[in-house]
Chains A and B, each alone.
Chain A
């Protein structure tokens, strides 16, 4: 090798309490290359990058920049070492202008005037070099997500970053925006910069990286040159064993339609249309999966159907009856057999400060079975929880334990038990296996299929395309708040769905 590695990590370990986030991790990234790091959620990628950026100090190990050992104890150290970072959640001040954001921390003097002038000139130069046209006086909060990400990149470049780390950069981007980002990354590489790309999307790795490292459970398990690997091989390395792409599933004729939506549209607080004219029909005994990049209206679709937000237009029918605004209330819908496993259990599915037993009645607190007379009965609530925990193998089976102390998989099982035990006729399921260990994933998948076989109509939203493909009888792809196409579960393939998710509709093709 003629040039030393741009950045080298040797034997890094980091624990948080009893959790080992990184265990003896080593990595070498060649200068002037794009290096991908893949792994499942919780595999330790973000911790490693936080250590590189000085957010945390490693318990053991060494960081070498261009061959020389370097201590990176704070972001300031990292910046000084030429490391720039684009966080998944942008580190921007939305009320400030682009120039002020770029300047923050690199003002070049006590007064802003000189710095602003320099920054403007530099921004113009960077814009030319990389085709990153952006108005330095625009207020960041008013820019699109894609442009905000550019500001993050400009920030790093303005500080003289030679190594750029991007953490899940495409999670928030539309496919065209993602493509533009990749063009930019290649341009940076051409200028001799080093890029580290963290993602769990294998397509991106194959498209843009030169080499790829795989992390699993806090450890580095593989380093390979990208042309010498394939998505299945990477997936296997990530998960640790061959992924069952198809769950055992009987073909079944769907029953009558149960839930129908026609022309559903929805606006968010800012007035942006998040759902556009969505129509779908859910039959008894089928699983309909929604495929889409996060943020393309799937969450809103679930919330509208569950009665959590009101549509701006459109009609929802349950058992052929049109739901009025009064009907579209979570409590009323539950009474009619429409249950909902929310996408984010911490944000809405559970009250983590409550005991497991109290969470096992969330949403069903009005059930007289939990009362003696007018008062809630802790004994009855606990007995109900014990039963449910046993049926769903929640560990530890202790109804008095604070919910925050259960593991992610067991928390999800509490939610699942609560909603499924109520014998739903329609089940809305969001990200059923997010942050859940492998064993629990299989358990959850089997439960969902059993429900389908028992005649429940299930709508499944997941960012894991493989999950959607494995479980669904029919798949609807969403992009920009619209349904862009439908495929039967058996015939769907990843490439075809990817096009639909990118907004290439059947009509256009």
Chain B
């Protein structure tokens, strides 16, 4: 295998591994920009993965699965909103609750319905999102040396939710930066009182952001169960929701850098998988765990202010209470 081929393969798996991270990171970005801290990204992706796998299996359509995944994730997002916005509850506590609820409920229901210890039956054919080949992929591969191969392997050949994930970054950046809605979201996460006195409903804005968060987690979870894998496995999100959270922090709550952080973390994951069991000269057996722990360690170092300064939205995590 020549080097280019290897690079293309690693980049391709980087993209695949990054997709759920990107969705969840954009989800977290919306929620936190509006001032609602969400450590329940993990749980929302998990229920979405489960619901999409079940719905796809029952109907045989991955698209129905996507809708079901989004609805399930949205439902949990609204529970979080109800606790955090309407009842001004502790947002961290609510996030922990949602993660536990999702972890338990998916296994209980999966086991009750399919009796395979929480797994759902394998998805085949139209029940999965297949890879789509972009126009000219084959042609460029043959006719454009180097870049053609990369286009075919890395850019082309992903499932629909993957392209939705990338689209979500573009939309997030544009809407947050250039629209009325985006301005209000940015304002409500920094100083909700300013939004309130401008005659805009703080609760409505925050609910909208939380709902968008649910929608994006739904896409991410659906990708896991119906594109990356062929069905639901218990605890299949495996901490991706938290890595996404780390990516948001790493990117200082900005969409494009968050995409970069997700791709970086995806790349680390791809490298770790490739190096599993590989002995390198001078190092010996590669301690893959060290690579896997890197995103978490990097986030800790960043938060400690050793590199740069984290600047979260000022009102994030704080319920809005009108002052007399």
Which of B198, B314, B322 neighbours the largest number of chain A CB atoms within 10 Å of its CB? B198
- Taken together as a complex, chains A and B put the C-alpha atoms of A87 and B323 apart, in Å, by 12
- Taken together as a complex, chains A and B put the C-alpha atoms of A91 and B194 apart, in Å, by 4
- Taken together as a complex, chains A and B put the C-alpha atoms of A294 and B178 apart, in Å, by 40
Q: Is B187 an interface residue (CB 8 A)?
A: yes
- Taken together as a complex, chains A and B put the C-alpha atoms of A100 and B180 apart, in Å, by 10
Q: Is A138 an interface residue (CB 8 A)?
A: no
Residue of A nearest to B184 (CB): A104
Residues 119-147 of A contacting B (Cβ, < 8 Å): none
Given contacts A74-B199, A79-B199, contact A92 B191 (CB under 8 A): yes
Verify B183–A104 contact, CB threshold 8 A: yes
Verify B179–A75 contact, CB threshold 8 A: no
Verify B186–A96 contact, CB threshold 8 A: yes
- Taken together as a complex, chains A and B put the C-alpha atoms of A89 and B186 apart, in Å, by 19
How far, in Å, is B202 (CB) from chain A's closest CB?
A: 11
Verify A75–B180 contact, CB threshold 8 A: no
Verify B199–A93 contact, CB threshold 8 A: no
Q: Is A388 an interface residue (CB 8 A)?
A: no
Verify A93–B190 contact, CB threshold 8 A: yes
Verify B198–A47 contact, CB threshold 8 A: no
Residues 55-91 of B contacting A (Cβ, < 8 Å): none
Tell me which of B180, B186, B193, B200 contacts A110 (CB under 8 A).
B180
What string of 1s and 0s marks CB contacts (under 8 Å) between A90-102 and chain B? 0111111000110
Q: Is B166 an interface residue (CB 8 A)?
A: no
Residue of A nearest to B191 (CB): A93
- Taken together as a complex, chains A and B put the C-alpha atoms of A85 and B184 apart, in Å, by 19
Verify A104–B194 contact, CB threshold 8 A: yes
Which residues of A lie under 8 Å from residue B184 when comparing CB positions? 104-105
Given contacts A46-B324, A76-B199, A79-B199, contact A94 B180 (CB under 8 A): no
Residues 152-208 of A contacting B (Cβ, < 8 Å): 155
Residue of B nearest to A76 (CB): B199
How far, in Å, is B247 (CB) from chain A's closest CB?
A: 21
- Taken together as a complex, chains A and B put the C-alpha atoms of A227 and B223 apart, in Å, by 75
Verify B190–A16 contact, CB threshold 8 A: no
- Taken together as a complex, chains A and B put the C-alpha atoms of A101 and B187 apart, in Å, by 9
- Taken together as a complex, chains A and B put the C-alpha atoms of A115 and B182 apart, in Å, by 14
Which residues of B lie under 8 Å from residue A115 when comparing CB positions? 180
What string of 1s and 0s marks CB contacts (under 8 Å) between B170-209 and chain A? 0000000011111110110011011111111000000000
- Taken together as a complex, chains A and B put the C-alpha atoms of A93 and B43 apart, in Å, by 32
Residues 372-413 of A contacting B (Cβ, < 8 Å): none
Which residues of A lie under 8 Å from residue B183 when comparing CB positions? 96, 100, 103-104, 107, 112
Q: Is A364 an interface residue (CB 8 A)?
A: no
Verify B178–A113 contact, CB threshold 8 A: yes
Q: Place the interface of chain A in its size category.
A: 35 or more
Tell me which of B180, B191, B199, B322 contacts A112 (CB under 8 A).
B180
Residue of B nearest to A108 (CB): B180
Q: Is A53 an interface residue (CB 8 A)?
A: yes
Which residues of A lie under 8 Å from residue B197 when comparing CB positions? 53, 55, 75, 85, 87, 91
Residue of A nearest to B177 (CB): A112
Verify B178–A111 contact, CB threshold 8 A: yes
- Taken together as a complex, chains A and B put the C-alpha atoms of A104 and B187 apart, in Å, by 8
Residues 53-106 of A contacting B (Cβ, < 8 Å): 53, 55, 74-79, 85, 87, 89, 91-96, 100-101, 103-106
Verify A111–B179 contact, CB threshold 8 A: yes
Tell me which of A53, A85, A101, A110 contacts B179 (CB under 8 A).
A110
Given contacts A74-B199, A104-B187, contact A111 B180 (CB under 8 A): yes
Verify A110–B181 contact, CB threshold 8 A: yes
- Taken together as a complex, chains A and B put the C-alpha atoms of A155 and B183 apart, in Å, by 15
Verify A47–B190 contact, CB threshold 8 A: no
Tell me which of B187, B199, B324 contacts A96 (CB under 8 A).
B187
Given contacts A50-B324, A105-B200, A112-B178, contact A94 B190 (CB under 8 A): yes
Residue of B nearest to A115 (CB): B180
Q: Is A271 an interface residue (CB 8 A)?
A: no
Q: Is A320 an interface residue (CB 8 A)?
A: no
Which residues of A lie under 8 Å from residue B199 when comparing CB positions? 74-79, 105
Residue of A nearest to B193 (CB): A91
Residue of B nearest to A47 (CB): B324
Which residues of B lie under 8 Å from residue A89 when comparing CB positions? 193
- Taken together as a complex, chains A and B put the C-alpha atoms of A47 and B322 apart, in Å, by 13
Residue of A nearest to B186 (CB): A96
Q: Is A439 an interface residue (CB 8 A)?
A: no
A interface, CB within 8 angstroms of B: 16, 46-47, 50, 53, 55, 74-79, 85, 87, 89, 91-96, 100-101, 103-107, 109-113, 115, 155
6 closest A-B pairs by CB: A105-B198, A76-B199, A107-B180, A91-B194, A75-B199, A91-B197
Other A-B pairs, 14, CB within 8 Å; known A104-B184, A112-B178: A50-B324, A55-B197, A75-B196, A76-B200, A89-B193, A91-B193, A92-B191, A93-B190, A100-B187, A104-B200, A109-B180, A110-B179, A112-B179, A115-B180
